[in-house]
Amino acid sequence: MFPRLATLAKLFAADRWIVLDDVQFARRDYQHRARLAALDDPARQQWLSLPTHLPGGRPTLISEARLVDRHRSRRSIELLVRQYYRRSRHWPVVRDVLGAVLDSLDTTDRVAGIAQVSTVALLTALGWNGEVLVSSGIPCRQGRSERLADLAAATGSTHYVCGTGGMRYLDHAPFDAHGIPVVPFHTPVDLDDPLWQTARHASSLWALSTLGPRALASRLADQVGPGAGRAAMPAAR
């Protein structure tokens, strides 16, 4: 929900996002929560967490996770996002992103759906016009790397954009078999730049509120290297 800037940057670098909606829900991940960074001090952060029910216990898939109280979650999101960012001069854009999420909460309690809406709303604000697909509708093998390679191949993707975490475990052989290069994607490690200091932890709402959509899109475009594009496959978060 309201993805971290590092996640948003990776998606922005691709022109296709395949949402992994049929993998196990992770309580310590970001599918049902976000860290809101204060406008004037991004090091000061607060969790926005949505109480989530897992019908199947720990093995519950992301697509099966449900909000415990949809209406209460809606109020919490609206209150905290307004509290943190309504003083930004870019508040109208942030308000539109918030509005898309609040509208989705009027009709669904699916955590995956809400996380997808928030991510697409942020990407749209930045001018991204890529394609969004869900993995549960695409036949593929079950091995971790095999699965990702099959998803890329089945969707006609020419490259697979892989973040820092994925590069630690990814087996390139299944991608090589499909003739799909793996493109590593890394956000800058710049302790002097608040934008990237918070990128791996804080929600992208801070960056959007601070820079505005045009400037943020320009900064993210600077991170798109040769060959990036065609596929990015993080879980919905």
- Tokens 């599918």 found at: 31
Instruction: Report whether pLDDT(118) > 60.
Output: yes
- Residue 37 binned pLDDT confidence (cut-offs 50, 70, 90): very high
**φ and ψ of 42, to 5 deg:** -65, -15
Angle made by CA atoms 119, 122, 127, in degrees to the nearest 5: 125
**Would you kindly state where each structural domain of the chain is located, as residue ranges?**
5-221
152-to-4, 98, 144, 175 alpha-carbon distances in Å: 23, 31, 13, 8
Q: Could you read off the pLDDT of 123-150 as tens digits, one per residue?
A: 999 999 999 999 998 999 988 899 999 9
Give me the helices (H) in 86-143, please.
Answer: 91-105, 111-125
Q: What is the bridge-based pairing of β-strands 131-134 and 160-162? A: unpaired
Which among 142, 230, 115, 237 has a CA at the least distance from the CA of 182? Answer: 230
The token pair at 87 is 């003083």
Q: Could you read off the pLDDT of 47-87 as tens digits, one per residue?
A: 999 999 999 999 999 999 999 999 999 999 999 999 999 99
Instruction: Report whether pLDDT(233) > 60.
Output: no
Q: Could you read off the pLDDT of 145-194 as tens digits, one per residue?
A: 999 999 999 999 999 999 888 888 899 999 999 999 999 988 888 778 88
| Stronger pLDDT, 55 or 224, i.e. the higher one | 55
**For the whole model, what pTM was predicted?**
0.92
Instruction: Output the pLDDT for position 194.
Output: 87
Across 109-118, 119-128, 188-197, least confident range: 188-197
Instruction: Output the pLDDT for position 226.
Output: 55
- Residue 25 binned pLDDT confidence (cut-offs 50, 70, 90): very high
Instruction: Output the pLDDT for position 235.
Output: 41
Instruction: Report whether pLDDT(228) > 70.
Output: no
- Residue 225 binned pLDDT confidence (cut-offs 50, 70, 90): low
Angle made by CA atoms 226, 231, 234, in degrees to the nearest 5: 115
Question: Average per-residue pLDDT in the chain?
Answer: 91
Amino acid sitting at position 161: V
Instruction: Output the pLDDT for position 188.
Output: 85
Gap between the Cα atoms of 217 and 203, Å rounded: 15
Rg (CA), the chain: 17
Instruction: Output the pLDDT for position 229.
Output: 47
